[in-house]
Structure 1
C-alpha cells in the first residue's frame, strides 16, 4: 500500500486545495465501490448513503453500464466528440426520446452543456434571457444552483455567495414555499410584486426553482405551490425553469421531480445522475420555441461526454422503459420515511423533510447533525448533512440499494443518533 494512504502527512494534506470539503468529515481513502458499498484502502467497507450527492442514483459500477462502457472503449469508440454527431449520442437521444420524453408528453429539445450542473444552470439562464429579452431571474430563498457566477447569483447560501468576491446581479429573491411559515402563501407575494409596477421587481425572464431544495435543507414545495408559480410565470411572460439536477433521475420517486404536479416547465436542467454511472454529464431540456441559442453561443470543449452517452442509454433502458423500477421506489420510500420518523421522534422539535428517496431530519443544529453523521461514519456508513446551518441529516442512498442493506444503513443512523444523544445527556448531568 502506498505510504501516502496511511501516513498522517498524506499527499492530500500536502497538495490538495483547502477548497476540498466532503473529505473533511469523511476522511477515508476510498479505492473501490460496488452497488451501495464503498471500500477504503485498509479494506473496510462502508454503506454509501451519499451516492456522490445523488450522482450515483443507480449505485457504483452498475454491471450493465460497466459492460457497455468497457465494450465501447475496447472497440475504440470515441472518447471525445465535441458536439459532433456520434452513434453514441444518437443512441442516447433515441432512448431518452422513447422512454423519457414521449411518455411524459414533452417536446423538449436537448442541449448538451459543459459537464457540470452549474454549467447547465448558466445555459438555462442565458436561454431565458435571450428568449424573452429580459434580464431579471426570480430565484428563491435557500435555493442552490451552483457556484459559477450566474448560477451563484441565483443561489441563496451566504457562505457560497461570499466566495465570489464581487457583486452578484440579475436575480430577485422570493420566499420559497414554507419559508415564512406553513400558513403563509408566498405565491401571493410573488404575484403582487410582479403585478405592481412600483414593487421594484423587474419583469423576469424566468422563474427558477427546485421542487425539493437539496443543499438548502430538503425543503419540499407543495404541488399546488409549484403549480401556482408556473401559472404566475406564464401570466407574466416569464419562462419556468425547474432545476432537477439533484432531485431528478428518480430521486423523488419519478424520473422528473415535477411529474405529479401538473406543470410543463419551459426549461429543465439535469446533471448528476444523468449519465447513470457517475460520469460528468449535464444537459438542458428546452421547449422548441425557446431554443434560441446560435451555434456555439453557449459552448464548451466537453459538451456531451461520449462515454456518458453510453452509460446513460443503458440506465434509461434498464430502469425506465416501464414502471417496474418506479414501483420499487415507492416501497423504499416507505422504509425510509418510517426510519426517519423514528429519528425525528428521538430529538425534541425535530422535523421530517424532503420527498421520496430525498429525505432527512432537521435535528435543530448543525452540531448535532454533524455528530450523528460522524458517529454513523465510525460505524461504517457514509452520510452527510445539508441546510443553511448543516442541521439536516440527509439520506441520499442509491435508489438501487438492496432492502437488507438499506435497512442496515438506516439502523446505523438510528444507533448513531442514540449514542450521540446519550452522550450529550450524560455530559449535561
Structure 2
C-alpha cells in the first residue's frame, strides 16, 4: 500500500467526512504539539482536536495513569454506577477547580460529547422553569443534535436537521450589528414589552468566545449584563464552555474574568484531558430536581476518561500554568496583529482571546487558502465563521515558545506566498 493512501476512505467512508478533506494525509503518530503522517512528515498542531487536546497529544503522565489503570483491569464501562475512578475525579474537580473559585455546583455526567451536555442543560432549564423557549445568539454553535441545533445560528448546519427547529429565539451577539450598538438594549426591549411577541424564556445560552461562529469574543461587561438581565427576569443563564473552557481562553472557565456565576455550565472536549470522550453539566444545587434516570446515557460512565481527566487537573494545582497561558496568549495576539499590519492585502482583523484567536480576512476565500497553504508547509490549522472567513490558531496550551515561533513562521510564509501569487495574477 502506498503511504498516505486515502483511497479506502474515499471508497468506503461516507461523504460526510470533513477534516480529512482539509488535512489530506494519513496520520500515524502524535506527541505534544506535533503530529506525523505515514510518510514521516512532521506537522505543528495549531488545531488541537478542535479544542479537545488543550494539554497536547499523549501527555506522558496521563498516558502512564491510563496504562496502569487498564493493566490492572480497572472498570471501563459502568453507566453511572459508583467507581473509584469517578470518585477520584469528583473529589479532585471539587478540590482543584470549584472550591478555589468559591463555586458550588452539582456535577452531572450526560453522554460523553459536547452536544450531550447542551441537550441536558436545555432540558433541565425547561424542567426547572416550566417554560419552553430559549434565547440563543447569532453565530452561536452548540452541537449537531436537534436540541443543540435549535440554538445554533449557522444556516447550513440548521438545515441538516431536516425539520423545523422551534422554541428558540435568536438575539444579536455582542458587536453583531456594529461596534456602537448595545445589542442588549435590543434584547431587553423584547423582554420588557408584552407586545414584543417574545415570551420570557427558560434560559439564555451563549459562548463567551464563539469558536465555530468566527472567533467572536464578547466583552466582559456585555457578559456581565447578560447575567444581570437573566437575574432580573428569572431566566437561567447557560454558559457553553465546551470549546472556550478548560483554559482555552486563559482561566479554567472562560467566564471568570466577567465575575459571574452561571446557573448552568456545559463542559466537554478537553475536560477528558487526553482526548478521551467526557462531558459534564454543572448546575447550581437548587436546580438539581432530576428524577433518578430522567436523563441518562449508556456511556456517561467513561472510566478511562475519569483517569486522564483527574490527572489533567494537576496542571491547575500550580498557578504558573495559567500564567504561562496568559503570557503565550499575548505572543499570539502580538503575532496576529503584526500579520494584519504587515499584510494589509488580507483586509484582516484580529479576533478572539487567549489560545482561541484568529484573523478574519475581508478577501473572500483567502482564510481557507491560508489554512491550506499552511498545511502544505507543515502546520495544521482550520477556519471558522459562516463563510470560513477566519483562520484560527488553536495550539495546545502546553506548547513552548519554540513551537509557537515555528507555527508563526509557517503562517507568515503562507500569507506572504499567497499575497505574492495574487499580485502576480493581478499583474
Matched ranges for 1:183-222 at <5 A? 183-222=180-219
> Shift of the alpha carbon at 1:322?
2.8
Distance 1:229 1:42, change over 3 A: same
2 CA distance for matches of 1:228 and 1:253?
Answer: 21
For residues 98 and 7 of structure 1, do their structure 2 counterparts lie closer, same or farther at Cα, with a shift above 3 Å needed? closer
Q: Tell me how far 1:300 sits from its aligned partner.
A: 0.7
In the alignment, what sits opposite 2:250?
253
Per-residue deviation, 1:330: 1.4
Equivalent of residue 402 in structure 1, options 391, 400, 403: 400
More deviation, 322-331/91-100: 322-331
Name the CA distance, whole Å, in 1 between partners of 2:362 and 2:158: 24
The counterpart of 1:324, out of the listed 314, 320, 342, is: 320
Q: Distance in 2 between matches of 1:307 and 1:20?
A: 27
Q: Offset of 1:289 from its aligned partner?
A: 0.6
Aligned match of 1:352: 350
Task: Give per-residue Cα distances to partners, 1:39-68, cap 9 Å, x unaligned.
Answer: 111111100000000000000000000000
- Tell me the secondary structure at the aligned position of residue 28 of structure 1: coil
- Cα contact 2:115–2:143 (8 A) shared by 1: yes
Look up the SS of the partner of 2:367 in the other structure: helix
Answering whether residue 68 of structure 2 is matched by residue 71 of structure 1, we say: yes
What residue is the counterpart of 2:263 in the other structure?
266
1:386 lines up with 2:398 in the alignment: no
TM (norm. structure 1) is 0.98
Following TM superposition, by how much is the alpha carbon of 1:258 offset from its aligned partner in structure 2, in angstroms? 0.5
Partners of 1:352 and 1:173 in 2: CA distance: 25
CA contact 1:342–1:414 (8 Å) conserved in 2: no
Cα distance between partner residues in 2 of 1:230 and 1:168: 25
| 2:5–2:25 CA contact under 8 A, matched in 1 | no
Match of 2:278 in 1: 281
Greater shift, 291-300 or 257-266, is seen at 291-300
Q: Tell me what 2:231 maps to.
A: 234
Residue 324 of structure 1: CA displacement?
Answer: 1.1
**Residue aligning to 1:109:** 106
CA distance in structure 2 between the partners assigned to 1:212 and 1:7 by the alignment: 37
2:136 maps to 1:139:
yes
Could you tell me which residue of structure 2 aligns to residue 89 of structure 1? 86
Can you list the C-alpha shifts for 1:319-369, whole angstroms capped at 9, x where unaligned?
A: 101311001011101110111112212134311100111000001245100
Instruction: Tell which deviates more after alignment, 248-257 or 290-299.
Output: 290-299
How far apart, in 2, do the equivalents of 1:76 and 1:132 lie?
44
Contact 1:365 1:390 in 2 (8 A): no
- Figure out how many residues of one structure are paired with residues of the other and give that number: 425
Which runs of 5 or more structure 2 residues have no equivalent in the other structure? none
2:139 partner SS: coil
Residue 341 (1) aligns with residue 345 (2): no
User: Hey, what's the Cα distance between the residues in 1 that align with 2:295 and 2:400?
Assistant: 41
Structure-2 change in CA distance of 1:194 and 1:25 (3 Å): same
Greater mean deviation of Cα atoms: 13-22 or 65-74 = 13-22
Structure-2 separation of matches of 1:360 and 1:25: 17
* Distance in 1 (alpha carbons) for counterparts of 2:211 and 2:406: 24
Using the alignment, how far apart are the partners of 1:198 and 1:242 within structure 2?
28
1:47 maps to which residue?
44
Contact residue 138 and residue 171 of structure 2 kept, 8 A = yes
Q: CA deviation at 1:170?
A: 1.0
Q: Secondary structure at the match of 2:227?
A: helix
Aligned equivalents of 1:198 and 1:310: distance in 2?
53
1:122 aligns with 2:119: yes
Deviation at 1:5, TM superposition (A): 4.7
Q: Distance in 1 between matches of 2:340 and 2:141?
A: 25
**Structure 2 equivalent of residue 58 of structure 1:** 55
Q: Unmatched 5+ residue regions in structure 1? A: none
Cα drift, residue 414 of structure 1: 0.8
> C-alpha displacement at 1:411, in angstroms?
1.2
Coordinate RMSD, CA, aligned: 1.0
**1:392 deviation in Å?**
0.3
Q: Return the alpha-carbon distance in structure 1 between the equivalents of residues 49 and 86 of structure 2.
A: 24
Point out 4+ residue stretches in structure 1 off by more than 2 angstroms. 4-8
Normalised by the size of structure 2, how large is the TM-score? 0.98
| Corresponding residue SS for 2:310 | helix
- Within the candidate set 11, 18, 26, 2:23 is matched to 26
